[in-house]
Structure 1
Amino acid sequence: MSDRRQLSSPERLALIAFGMIAAQLIFRGWATAGSWFYSDDFIFIGTAARGAADLDWMFEPHNIHLMPFGLWLSTLVGNVGTFSWLLATVEILLLQALASLACWWMLRTLFGDRKGVLVALAFYLVSPLSFPSIMWWSASLNQLPHQIALFGAVAAHVMYLRTRHPSSAVLAGLFMLLGYASYTKTLLLPVLLVSLTVVYFATGRLLPRLRTALVRFWHAWVVYGVLTIGYLVIYLTTVPRSEFPGWRSIRDTFDLSIVKSFAPGVLGGPWDWVSLGQPGGVGPRLFVGTPLMLIAFSWVAIALLCAYQFLKVRRAWLPLLVLVPYLLLNAYLVSAGRSEAFGVGPAALELRYLADLAGVVALCIALATMPIVGAAVRPEPRDPQLLTVSLPTRALKVGAAAIVVGSLFSSVAYALPWHDSEKMPQQAYVDTARAALDKAGNTEIADTTVPDSVLWAAAFPANLTSRILAPLDERFTVVKAGNDLKLIGPDGALSAAAVLGEARTEPGPDKGCGFAVTEDPRTISIVPVIDFSFWLSINYLAGADGTATIRAGKTTVEAPIERGPHTLLLQTSGAYDSVTITPASGVSLCVDKMNVGPLTAVGAE
């Protein structure tokens, strides 16, 4: 028998990397599988289920994001026609797998087959900085393609820097295009590429260095410049402009985002999470709550590790020229895009806005410890040594293990609320509505808003039942006028709909009939209604089936009339102080009372 071929060193390193990525996917698969659709997810699913996810919609801004690729990804789940969290989980994990493989490819492309690549890769794979983005499907549609784009663009750009072959610059541009189609923070990617070029592929003083980088690698700057300018033109002409953040907002965002969130996140934090309040009082999202003592410890530990490396290795401080501009600009974008709209705390302390920094820090760890293959500038051991003391191997292993354990602890603590039905009532709401509609068969319902715990009111009209439950639309028909209508209640149950409160009409003058409506139109005075979208309820008794035209404010509706006692409900708009009822031929009815207001569920079936 012939001896088995021994694996080469690169092959062993690749197998170890793939094993590490597989372990990450297993852990994050557990976390993601226990979550469910949340908030903006319903907007995407509902749009696809209604058949409205066309090309125009994909290029509409969502909040401040222009994300056609992410919205297209959402249709792959939304077009299934059911609330398939399994499919969403598979999509998230596939994107995460591609991002992790792209990170490995980037590190291997820059530094070759070195064991140090595995250390940097391990940081990205376990870092809590990127963990929150996988728990929320709509966030993952931004974040993960952006991370793929970042890693791919860096790798392709360095390939170009080595060869100056335009095809590599074009490849980097394609990755950049993916980023721009996914996430606004791709605007930071050209800054990262310029920093790498100037710091590691040019020499001399600053101005000659900049001139060399600009002239020698002009193919790349043309490609990246065209893409970036084109994106900015589209973005600025498409996305509504927001006010520039004030100095205090920028200062506070930098403080919370960099000082309180970033440093603990690098070492496996934040270790402690807090809830800053959710729409409707319910929600799984958590924010950085690191105690002040641990924040101070994080910065001291990072400073000592950096100082140790700087004293042992020449040029080990250069990665700071790559990291610091990216970190500062990242904080500014958070301030400009989120702090003004949602408040500094909820924006700066939400770790998912730092997700891409997990990859950037991994890159900088590698830059501080290994040379880029083909670079003009590289780290080298100091001779003579400025620090003769070396860290014991055991201490390094214990420190690395502590970071891994802390990272897993932080990640599990973040994931658990997403597995909690009390924090995530959306699935129970949808399941209850599905069961009730299945039991009732196709039924007419009024189109009301869902509770804030499913989708907050600021998202109107996306929070209407017809949109949230669009994947179930074969089970119900939404109407704006009907008799004895039902609605989906706050708990998802099918309930009778009513307008509660005191009647807006005086007792009618027709004895035993209230307001008699026979052949001619009849106008009935009511307590004045302001100009708003309200529901009008009309209690009546009819002698035969037919129709009647109802006019109230800006609304004119031909509504169905059914024989016997019923309550007609119709949605109105505009201000009015009277209602005119015109019966069809052969229809007569007695109107008892009318009321105006929001619909309320008055009893589950």
Structure 2
Amino acid sequence: MNIRRAGAQRPGVVTWVPRTAVALIALQLLVRAVLAFHGYFYWDDLILTGRAGTQGLLSASYLFDDHDGHVMPAAFLIAGGITRLAPLDWIGPAISLVVLQLVASLALLRALYVILGWRPVLLLPLTFALFTPLGLPAFSWWAAALNALPMIAAMAWVCADAILLVRTGNQRYAVTGVIAFLVGLQFFEKAAVIPFVAFAVVALLAHVAGDGAACKTVWRSGIRLWAACLAVLIAWIGVYLLVVDQQRWSFDLGMTSDLLLRSVTHGIVPGLVGGPWDWQRWAPASPWATPPLTVMALGWAALAAVFVVSLVRKQRIGWVWLAAIGYAVACQIPIYLMRSSQFTALELAQTLRYLPDLVVVLALLAAVGLCAPNRETSRWLDSSRARTAVVAVGTALFVASSLYSTATFNTIWQDNPTRSYLQNGRASLAQAAAASDAPMLDQEVDPLILQRIQWPENLLSHVFALIRDRPEFAAATTDLRMLDMSGRLLGAKVTWVRSMQLGPLPSCGYLVQPDAPARIPLDGPLLPSEWTAELNYLANSDGSITVSLSEGTQVKVPVRPGLNRVFVRLPGAGDAIDVQANTSALSVCVASGPVGYLAPTE
């Protein structure tokens, strides 16, 4: 089958349309660069950097980690490489965001050119895709961008290759299409939709061109691409099921439908006219769109106008609209089934970070729709100064609206406590290393930076793993220090959540020897957590002891001769502390002390 580009191209158009397209991409990159360099590490970004600092970059455990339901080895590899080159330096991630956006934008331009050629109408879907705020959240958050941007680049590339394969019969497009699909899967499992999107785009292009059996024709003409992609997909599904814990799936259909409706009313529809204009944020959550009624009404009006005009102007356009609506629903339902429950806030649907692929699909489907033949009764919509003026003004207003939404997003995205915490933390750790040779007790970062559910990536030893000018992190220390909620170094003490009961031996407490371990009862039980114990002891020589809660992990603690004190981090639960001497001839007397959390002494 031969799917030809629709529309003849005047010689002059071939000159200014590509130049304008390149200028639009350059403007988008300038805007996105400002957003990228004004951003900073946020939440999952620190999980990526922490794992890069504590695991081998080429190890299977690192590359094929279940990252909150994602399988993304290539994203891990890029994040790890950038992190190793410049730990906790935002310049590297910011540059990578701009580069990935350039690749995605150029891939989309190629796909639009393959569909439309250098017709002026190419600039309409391109402008929408480049500037709509629907793609902002997934771009600005580094961890999300490492998923989304390579995926949409692969999507646009495979769609273009599929069209060229069916159009020319050149089998090299089947090879490059499969490679692009495989690359996309390495960044984001959602790339599994790419072959289906590509098939739909090519089939719809054949349909609007007048092929009555478009699906059958496209399947036969591109069988090598479709078969190879399906084989790759089946293999990748096997890998995904081996890596990912499927217990996180929810089947709360009511909440899923509510989230889907909210994403349409507060996300997609306002985004069609450059909304939402306004964003809100409660740290540590990511920003969510809060469009005023004005932009929501404008979005619905614009959608209705485009729908009516397209039906009046174009033939065989119905299936294109159904595909757009279907993908808008299908691209979100699996995510909401994984992320939602009866306790999920509807603002999740307003974060918009699940919509960048929808932007590309809408742009490609718009290009396909523009290839449909005009109706004889719509000659009044033919090219004229009035039509040109209306399109130019509408496009300019859309870009202006989008840039305003981008500016408001940029402002609220910078409200991020991570920057000051990491900068203060680096300076504090350098100060701690200069002031004492003692290791620093490993501890959790402030919950606004990473919460306990991200353990162990929320520990200082992971967040600051690759920083050179710092003390060693350990499970025990003789010099108790902590970082406060802003990352400043403070002297610390252990709170008296529980206390060790007095021992039975006068002037000793509990005697611990290699052949005589001791169990020190607490004055009450401890729930599972990361506890810190203050051990006051008297030892007869250098050596080590093993300490643990009665239901917890064992920690090896060095001891010195004489009367000393050591602070030990004890993960677990229970109502007693078990102490075992490891060194031959070592005798240790352990007195009473507190077990609790760290608190500043100041």
Q: Same-fold call, TM > 0.5?
A: yes
Write out per-residue CA displacement over residues 366-418 of structure 1, whole angstroms, 9 at most, x where no aligned residue. Answer: 2333x2xxxxxx32242465879986543333222221111011111111122
Shift in Å, 1:572 = 5.7
Alignment match, 1:569: 568
C-alpha distance 388-474 of structure 1, shift in aligned 2 (>3 A): closer
Shift in Å, 1:352 = 1.6
Cα pair 1:46 1:470 within 8 Å, conserved: yes
Cα distance between partner residues in 2 of 1:508 and 1:547: 22
Alignment match, 1:319: 320
Cα distance between partner residues in 2 of 1:99 and 1:342: 35
Write out per-residue CA displacement over residues 497-554 of structure 1, whole angstroms, 9 at most, x where no aligned residue. Answer: 422126624566777x463859896845442444745322123467x76335355536
Cα distance between partner residues in 2 of 1:576 and 1:595: 13
Cα distance between partner residues in 1 of 2:210 and 2:164: 24
Alignment match, 1:19: 23
Alignment match, 2:82: 77
Cα distance between partner residues in 2 of 1:192 and 1:569: 55
Q: How many residues are aligned here?
A: 580
1:341-360 paired onto structure 2 within 5 Å: 343=344, 345-360=346-361
Write out per-residue CA displacement over residues 72-116 of structure 1, whole angstroms, 9 at most, x where no aligned residue. Answer: 111121112521101111111000111111111111122111122
Alignment match, 1:4: none
Shift in Å, 1:469 = 1.1
Q: Which stretches in structure 2 are left out of the alignment for 5+ residues?
A: 1-10
Moved over 6 A (4+): 203-207, 386-390, 508-511, 583-590
Mapped pair 1:435 → 2:435 = no
Alignment match, 1:416: 411
TM-score by length of 2: 0.87
Shift in Å, 1:427 = 1.7
Alignment match, 1:260: 266
Which amino acid is the alignment partner of residue 403 of structure 2? L
Cα distance between partner residues in 2 of 1:192 and 1:362: 12
C-alpha distance 199-505 of structure 1, shift in aligned 2 (>3 A): closer
C-alpha distance 388-448 of structure 1, shift in aligned 2 (>3 A): closer
Cα distance between partner residues in 2 of 1:139 and 1:601: 36
Which deviates the most, 236-245 or 574-583? 574-583
TM-score by length of 1: 0.87
SS in structure 1 at match of 2:150: helix
Cα pair 1:485 1:569 within 8 Å, conserved: no
Shift in Å, 1:429 = 1.4
Alignment match, 2:594: 595
Cα pair 1:334 1:348 within 8 Å, conserved: no
Cα pair 1:528 1:578 within 8 Å, conserved: no
Cα pair 2:47 2:457 within 8 Å, conserved: yes
Cα distance between partner residues in 1 of 2:243 and 2:268: 32
Cα pair 2:151 2:187 within 8 Å, conserved: yes
Which deviates the most, 388-397 or 30-39? 388-397
Cα pair 2:278 2:405 within 8 Å, conserved: yes
Cα distance between partner residues in 1 of 2:329 and 2:510: 73
SS in structure 2 at match of 1:475: coil
Mapped pair 1:539 → 2:536 = yes
C-alpha distance 575-473 of structure 1, shift in aligned 2 (>3 A): farther
Cα distance between partner residues in 1 of 2:226 and 2:504: 83
Which amino acid is the alignment partner of residue 376 of structure 2? R
Write out per-residue CA displacement over residues 128-185 of structure 1, whole angstroms, 9 at most, x where no aligned residue. Answer: 1111122111111001101110111111111011012222122222221122112232
Which deviates the most, 399-408 or 84-93? 399-408
Cα distance between partner residues in 2 of 1:208 and 1:16: 37
Q: Which stretches in structure 1 are left out of the alignment for 5+ residues?
A: 1-6, 372-377
SS in structure 1 at match of 2:576: strand
1:421-570 paired onto structure 2 within 5 Å: 424-441=416-433, 443-472=438-467, 475-501=470-496, 504-506=499-501, 513=507, 515=509, 523=518, 524-530=520-526, 532=528, 533-540=530-537, 546-547=542-543, 549=545, 551-552=547-548, 553=550, 555=554, 557-561=556-560, 563-564=562-563, 566-570=565-569
Cα pair 2:115 2:368 within 8 Å, conserved: no
Mapped pair 1:164 → 2:156 = no
Which amino acid is the alignment partner of residue 489 of structure 1? D
From 245, 253, 256, the equivalent of 1:250 is 256
SS in structure 1 at match of 2:534: strand
Alignment match, 2:138: 133
Shift in Å, 1:563 = 4.2
Alignment match, 1:399: 394
Cα pair 2:272 2:302 within 8 Å, conserved: no
C-alpha distance 211-474 of structure 1, shift in aligned 2 (>3 A): same
Alignment match, 2:276: 270
Cα distance between partner residues in 2 of 1:263 and 1:568: 56
Alignment match, 1:375: none
Cα pair 1:161 1:201 within 8 Å, conserved: no
Cα pair 1:128 1:265 within 8 Å, conserved: yes
Cα distance between partner residues in 2 of 1:101 and 1:601: 53
SS in structure 1 at match of 2:249: coil
Which amino acid is the alignment partner of residue 417 of structure 2? P
Cα distance between partner residues in 2 of 1:81 and 1:471: 9
Which amino acid is the alignment partner of residue 304 of structure 2? A
| Identical pairs, percent | 24
Cα pair 2:497 2:597 within 8 Å, conserved: no
C-alpha distance 166-595 of structure 1, shift in aligned 2 (>3 A): same
Cα distance between partner residues in 2 of 1:199 and 1:68: 33
C-alpha distance 204-269 of structure 1, shift in aligned 2 (>3 A): closer
C-alpha distance 308-572 of structure 1, shift in aligned 2 (>3 A): closer
Cα pair 1:245 1:335 within 8 Å, conserved: no
Which amino acid is the alignment partner of residue 545 of structure 2? T
Cα pair 1:449 1:465 within 8 Å, conserved: yes
Cα pair 2:475 2:555 within 8 Å, conserved: no
Mapped pair 1:220 → 2:216 = no
SS in structure 2 at match of 1:365: helix
SS in structure 2 at match of 1:226: helix
1:95-110 paired onto structure 2 within 5 Å: 95-110=100-115
Which deviates the most, 214-223 or 74-83? 214-223
Alignment match, 1:379: 373
Cα distance between partner residues in 2 of 1:388 and 1:581: 89
Cα distance between partner residues in 1 of 2:153 and 2:120: 22
RMSD: 3.2
Alignment match, 1:65: 70
SS in structure 2 at match of 1:492: coil
Which amino acid is the alignment partner of residue 219 of structure 1? R
Alignment match, 2:243: 238
C-alpha distance 508-172 of structure 1, shift in aligned 2 (>3 A): closer
Write out per-residue CA displacement over residues 443-474 of structure 1, whole angstroms, 9 at most, x where no aligned residue. Answer: 40111111111112211121111111112155
Cα pair 1:339 1:346 within 8 Å, conserved: no
From 32, 37, 51, the equivalent of 1:28 is 32
Alignment match, 2:369: 368
Cα distance between partner residues in 1 of 2:82 and 2:124: 35
Cα pair 1:437 1:443 within 8 Å, conserved: no
C-alpha distance 516-452 of structure 1, shift in aligned 2 (>3 A): closer
Shift in Å, 1:261 = 1.5
Which amino acid is the alignment partner of residue 332 of structure 1? I
Cα pair 2:54 2:462 within 8 Å, conserved: yes
Which deviates the most, 570-579 or 448-457? 570-579
Cα distance between partner residues in 2 of 1:232 and 1:535: 43
C-alpha distance 443-566 of structure 1, shift in aligned 2 (>3 A): closer
Which deviates the most, 571-580 or 137-146? 571-580
SS in structure 1 at match of 2:592: strand
